Each structure stands twice: as C-alpha cells, then as structure tokens.
Structure 1
Amino acid sequence: MKRIYLSGPMTNMLDLNFPLFNSTAASLRAAGHSVINPAELNPDPGTWNDCMRRDIAALMNCDTVATPPGWEHSKGARLEVLIAERLGMAVVKAHDLVTREAVTPLEQKH
C-alpha cells in the first residue's frame, strides 16, 4: 500500500480546491491506499505559512506525491514536489495514478 500525499493548488482557487482534493483522495482510498489530503489537514486554513508547516510535516510520512493538473502554478505544490524529489519520493500525476488503480484489477482478471 502506498502512502500518498496530494499536492496541488489551493490558494485563490474556488472553495480552496477542496472538492478536487476530496474526490481524488476518495478514489485513491477506494483503491486501498493511505492518503494524506491537505484539505483535511487544513479545514480552517489560517495563514499560508501555517498550512505549509502542517503539510510538509505530513509529507514526510509519505512515499509518493500525487499532483493534479495545474500544480506547477502553485508555489506550495512546487515546494512540496521539490522536497519529495530531493528526498527520492515518487512524484506522479494524480489522474494517472487513479486511472491505473481503476484499470489494474480488470487487467489482472484476463
């Protein structure tokens, strides 16, 4: 089981992008993964610095970072991805991971 951290844009996004984070986390959890979702870590976000301190601490307990489209436009997500890459964690597109998890059980039946 992978321990996945979701990293993407929240600041200046409609509803802080919580719907995307929550739906992605639900899909990955349904596939059996443990998911760290910043939307759950920061339900009442506070300052950007406060959120990033909580998020980076949680990131340290993961082995994979999954990113949605547009993550590269977020200074927080860019920092999280940089940290993950420097620490040798896998960095993947969230959509690809969700799609691969959904397809894999079907492929195993054939």
Structure 2
Amino acid sequence: MIIYLAGKITGNPEYRKQFAAAKAELEAEGHIVLNPAELPEGMSPAAYMRICFAMIDTADELRALPGWNCSRGARLEMAYADYIGKTARVIHNILNGGTE
C-alpha cells in the first residue's frame, strides 16, 4: 500500500525525526511511504501544498502523525483526503507499532 504521511512540520523542530520514525515503521510493514518531510526547503507554502496534494492523490491512504491538528497544512491535507474520499487515519503512537 502507498501511504502519505501528514503532520506538523512548520515550527516543529522534531519533525524530521518524527516523520522518519513513522516512515521506517510503515516501510517495515511493507508499505511505500510518501514523506513530505523529505521535500527540499525554501519553497512557498502553496508550492508545497500542490506537491503534497499530488502525493495524496497517488497514495492509497493518508496517515497523520500526532499533533497534526496543530498544523494548518496537515489540517488542509486531512480535509482534502476527506473531500476526495481517501482513507485517512491518525497514528497515535509513532513508535511501538503506530496504534491507529
């Protein structure tokens, strides 16, 4: 399954670590992970969102990291997934199996 990760990036000094941990767990389960935390820095928020919407369109499912609701971008991604009928789940625990 192809999974897109959503979560708080802006203003979160731990985002790379959090996204990497979630990606590693999902890949260990055999999934392909689309990780917006791996995009290059320096683009506009609109440019990031266009890329992220394309990744969401490509994914089979969206998984949101803890704290996603504190991110304007992640809230928009979750709303977009809902709008297009994409399954979206919240990861409550990044480590120890990512309980949904």
> Which TM class, normalised by the smaller chain length?
0.7 to 0.9
Matches for 1:4-15 after TM superposition, within 5 Å: 4-14=3-13
1:20 CA drift (Å): 0.5
Where does residue 105 of structure 1 map in the other structure?
none
Greater helix content: 1
The one-character-per-residue Cα deviations of 1:26-58 (angstroms, maximum 9, x if unpaired) are 110011001100012x13242212211111111
Where does residue 81 of structure 2 map in the other structure?
84
1:24 CA drift (Å): 0.5
Q: Could you list the runs of 4 or more consecutive aligned residues of structure 1 that deviate by over 3 angstroms after TM superposition?
A: 95-98
- Aligned-partner Cα distance in 1 for 2:90–2:76: 16
- Aligned-partner Cα distance in 2 for 1:14–1:48: 18
8 Å CA contact 1:45–1:51 kept in 2: the answer is: no
The count of aligned residue pairs is 98
Superposed CA RMSD in Å reads 2.1
- Letter of the 2:33 counterpart: V
Where does residue 29 of structure 2 map in the other structure?
31
Task: Report the CA distance shift for 1:99/1:14 in structure 2 as closer, same or farther (over 3 A).
Answer: same
Identity of aligned residues (%): 34
Compute the TM-score of the two structures, normalised by the length of structure 2: 0.86
Compute the TM-score of the two structures, normalised by the length of structure 1: 0.78
- Aligned-partner Cα distance in 1 for 2:16–2:98: 23
